[in-house]
């Protein structure tokens, strides 16, 4: 097997992959909606990146080996052939302690090049896993050694950043334990939510992308005649997928799925299954506990195109963290997770059998797991606990824990990102321009940076920033992924304290692949 080491990649090869782009890239003004001519940027293997890693004081090494390969997966009576890490869905959890150094070798046995992105981690830039920007793609038959300090505890996950590979089985949780954990609990669950299409009746994410990319010509989806991506005149239609089929399976284009919580259009893709920890509702995973146990649940939305509203029947949840960072505790019956978001909650287990239900928001179907603390029969696969009827808690209703609240400070720089495009042409973009690796928005180390997301479309977008966390307005929580509703403006702030070139994109995998991505780069 060929092995691609970090040294090899970050020599002449990465100079070709990124250095040439950096030399020719564009710049943007301090308050800008778009790039304009060139500047010099810190490269992913620059001395500034190495210095930042040294300040993290890398600790004990945790070695992990991982193989990405084509395999058969059992979703609970329904077997599919997909791509995965090993033969499990989700992939085997990686668990480290804050302060450790993670050394993970990924062997690529797939028919395509791949990579690993560590979603939510503030890590060294050359380990961020974006092919052509921070590393070379890992070719079929090759391997890559990821090695970086892990400094902040929390609930994270990892997945490829190559095409639409994430919408296969290539994802797994990454749990960073706190050596000074302040929470007290008896049990812990990791609950990974997903929407599933790969290998079902011949469907693949690539075929879904190809179908969506054709757009919906002849159908009016614009919002008020602008660049909206809503369903427009289709709201009266029942939720369905188109009836045409191809050699890559039936049509998976979703029409008529709406959600007031999401501001209108709920999604693009009609998934045949929704999963909790890789299982369908007909064969759910069962968590066991004793009545009265205090349970920490770590939720991860690994979906490609679906927000999930989650509730545990007969219980209230106390939210303690979002995207790895603690919040002031807040009780709720239900909780909304956009793609890429994570929430930690505490629940006190009742006596009996209870449904942990994840409603595909606006798509009217559910995923399911069970909590069993005593006797009794399991609920039906389509159970809808009354807790789902409550308005779900969303990030804007939370406040950061005092220990992690971003100190008040006026921004040194404001970058404006208009989210543009429509379902009609499927031309999702930022500031009207589809992603180009040669364009990036500049920041400087030490700045307080404000990102102003202005959603000009009729669809919601979960926007994700690599390598940093930002604060929501008004003392809101620290996050790396935030939902921007249609027609709304969301301003978030972060401190530029992690040098390199970082992606900013919609975490709807099909919107991102269509072009709703850009780069934020540190200037020298």
**Confidence band for 32, pLDDT divided at 50, 70 and 90:** low
| Lowest mean pLDDT segment, chosen from 37-41, 325-329, 339-343, 357-361 | 37-41
Cα 260-318-339 angle, rounded to 5 deg: 45
**Confidence band for 35, pLDDT divided at 50, 70 and 90:** low
Judged against a pLDDT cut of 90, whether residue 219 lies above it is answered with no
pLDDT value of position 416: 98
The strand pair at 286-288 and 366-372 is best described as parallel
pLDDT digits (tens, 9 = 90+) for 224-272: 333 333 332 222 233 444 434 445 689 999 988 999 999 999 999 999 9
pLDDT value of position 39: 63
| Lowest mean pLDDT segment, chosen from 17-21, 92-96, 179-183, 496-500 | 17-21
Instruction: Report residue 449: phi and psi, to 5°.
Output: -110, 130
Measured in whole angstroms, how far is the alpha carbon of residue 76 from the centre of its chain?
A: 25
The strand pair at 308-312 and 353-360 is best described as antiparallel
CA distance 520 to 182: 34
pLDDT value of position 34: 53
pLDDT value of position 255: 87
Average pLDDT, the chain: 89
**Confidence band for 217, pLDDT divided at 50, 70 and 90:** low
pLDDT value of position 248: 67
pLDDT value of position 145: 98
CA distance 255 to 467: 35
pLDDT value of position 28: 44
Percent of the chain whose pLDDT exceeds 70: 86
What pTM did the predictor assign?
Answer: 0.90
CA distance 376 to 372: 9
What element of type H or E holds 23?
Answer: helix 20-24
pLDDT digits (tens, 9 = 90+) for 451-492: 999 999 999 999 999 999 999 999 999 999 999 999 999 999
DSSP state for residue 408 in the 8-state scheme: P
CA distance 174 to 262: 28
Judged against a pLDDT cut of 80, whether residue 133 lies above it is answered with yes
Judged against a pLDDT cut of 90, whether residue 443 lies above it is answered with yes
The rounded radius of gyration (Å) of the Cα atoms in the chain is 22
Query: Mean pLDDT over residues 9-27, rounded?
Result: 39
CA distance 492 to 476: 9
Residue predicted with more confidence, 335 or 2: 335
CA distance 14 to 474: 41
Query: Mean pLDDT over residues 184-196, rounded?
Result: 98
């Amino acid at each position: 097997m060929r092995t691609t080491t970090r040294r090899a990649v970050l020599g002449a090869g990465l100079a070709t992959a990124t250095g040439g782009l950096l030399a020719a890239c564009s710049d943007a003004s301090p308050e800008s909606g778009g790039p304009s001519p060139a500047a010099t940027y810190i490269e992913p293997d620059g001395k500034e990146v190495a210095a930042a890693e040294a300040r993290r004081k890398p600790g004990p090494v945790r070695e992990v080996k991982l193989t990405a390969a084509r395999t058969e997966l059992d979703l609970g009576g329904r077997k599919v052939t997909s791509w995965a890490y090993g033969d499990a869905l989700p992939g085997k959890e990686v668990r480290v302690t804050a302060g450790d150094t993670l050394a993970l070798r990924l062997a690529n046995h797939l028919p395509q090049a791949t990579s690993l992105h560590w979603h939510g981690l503030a890590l060294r830039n050359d380990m961020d896993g974006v092919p052509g920007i921070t590393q070379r793609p890992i070719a079929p038959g090759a391997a890559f050694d990821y090695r970086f300090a892990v400094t902040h505890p929390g609930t994270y996950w990892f997945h490829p950043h190559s095409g639409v590979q994430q919408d296969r089985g290539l994802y797994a949780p990454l749990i960073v334990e706190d050596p000074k954990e302040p929470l007290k609990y008896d049990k812990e669950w990791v609950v990974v939510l997903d929407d599933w299409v790969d290998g079902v009746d011949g469907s693949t994410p690539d075929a879904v992308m190809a179908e969506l990319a054709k757009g919906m010509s002849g159908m009016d989806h614009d919002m008020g005649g602008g660049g909206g991506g809503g369903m427009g005149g289709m709201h009266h239609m029942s939720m369905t997928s188109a009836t045409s089929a191809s050699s890559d399976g039936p049509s998976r284009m979703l029409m008529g799925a709406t959600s007031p919580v999401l501001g209108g259009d709920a999604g693009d893709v009609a998934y045949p299954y929704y999963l909790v920890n890789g299982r369908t509702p007909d064969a759910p995973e069962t968590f066991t506990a004793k009545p009265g146990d205090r349970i920490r649940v770590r939720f991860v939305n690994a979906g490609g195109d679906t927000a999930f509203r989650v509730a545990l029947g007969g219980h209230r949840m106390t939210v303690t963290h979002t995207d790895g960072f603690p919040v002031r505790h807040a009780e709720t019956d239900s909780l909304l997770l956009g793609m890429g978001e994570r929430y930690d909650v505490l629940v006190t287990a009742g006596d009996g059998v209870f449904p942990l239900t994840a409603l595909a928001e606006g798509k009217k179907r559910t995923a399911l797991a069970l909590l069993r603390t005593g006797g009794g029969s399991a609920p039906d696969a389509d159970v809808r606990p009354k807790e789902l009827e409550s308005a779900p808690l969303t990030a804007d209703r939370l406040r950061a824990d005092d220990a992690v609240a971003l100190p008040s400070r006026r921004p040194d720089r404001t970058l404006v990102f208009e989210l543009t495009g429509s379902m009609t042409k499927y031309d999702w973009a930022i500031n009207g321009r589809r992603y180009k690796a040669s364009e990036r928005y500049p920041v400087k180390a030490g700045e307080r940076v404000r990102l102003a997301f202005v959603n000009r479309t009729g669809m919601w977008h979960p926007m994700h920033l690599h390598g940093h966390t930002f604060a929501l307005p008004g003392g809101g929580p620290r996050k790396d992924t935030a939902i921007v509703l249609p027609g709304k403006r969301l301003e978030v702030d972060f401190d530029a304290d992690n040098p390199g070139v970082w992606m900013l994109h919609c975490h709807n995998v099909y919107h991102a692949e269509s072009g709703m991505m850009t780069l934020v780069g540190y200037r020298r």
